[in-house]
Structure 1
Amino acid sequence: MHATAVVEDGARIGTGTRVWHHAHVRAGATVGSDCVLGKNVFIDAGAVVGDRCKIQNNVSVYNGVTLGSDVFVGPGTAFTNDLRPRASASEWTVTPTAVRDGASIGANATIVCGNVLGRFSMVAAGAVVTRDVDAHQLVAGNPARPVGWVCACGEVVSRDPARPADLRCPEHRAASSGEGAVT
């Protein structure tokens, strides 16, 4: 933990997790093992972060957001948690958002609450996600639209709108057939 980080009593942080400058983890937050929380990261009470996640600088993970394991969140990503926010409201309705294992979110993307980002999905930098993203799907734009499919390693395997039968990149196909090793 960096000396300037604030980790409130009651926050659960797994072993090997590194917390950088000016990060804040609230009581009631759960952060898994071997994660990296970058500078100015905020993890709210009720938020859940899986193991081996990397959350880059200036990201707030609010109550209602659940990140699976091995999730990458690019710098400046914005998560929301209320579909009808009002400053005058004494209460709000938290709308859950789930980011499944292995998903990657590019810098400055906005993830509107109530959506699910599937396993190994990839959200392009600056995208605004307003609907669910399928497993291995690549989305981009505002609002985010499907633009392809990616391997678990992040390599684009198809730009076709239809989901390909094989979601492995050539390198992973070769490795699984014994023709080569994956590095």
Structure 2
Amino acid sequence: MTDEAFQRPPDSAPFALVRLLQDFTLEANRYVDTAGGRNDMHRTDLNALAVIMRHTAKGLVVTPGILRRELNLSSPATTALIDRLDSSGHVVRERLGPDRRQVQLRMTPKAFQDGSAIFMPLSRHLDAAMAGFSPEELELVSRFMAAMVDATIAAREETSDGGPASPTPPR
């Protein structure tokens, strides 16, 4: 495969958009690392809380197995993560079912309070940045970002299913 397959004109709109998405992802990761670190929380801890929050908002039960799959962790790493979140007061384990073997993970009020404190500065700055755009512009960007998320999920799933990890060169 040649390098030409990966090169686009640096001034093209798609290249500039992809670069901005990369920059945003990098800066968002830096924010999570910095803000989480100041609160003795690892990126994985915050990602776990986000997974639990997202599933709970949909009315779904969150189990250690769901967390393991969503975060791509081993079983021992998942147990260590849940132990950390339990010890810090962010998550509780609740037994479910008639035999009480299934464990459900639930966020505590402390998790919501700490999460709000961690992400409030980011939320404030994002709100200020979005205030300069019309509702129509925000709708367009929302549709664009949803499409980018869907494309990223599709690429991840393709890669995890053993599909091609890189583009096939034209023949």
Same fold (TM over 0.5): no
Instruction: Give the number of the structure whose alpha-carbon radius of gyration is greater.
Output: 2
- What is the TM-score of this pair, normalised by structure 1? 0.20
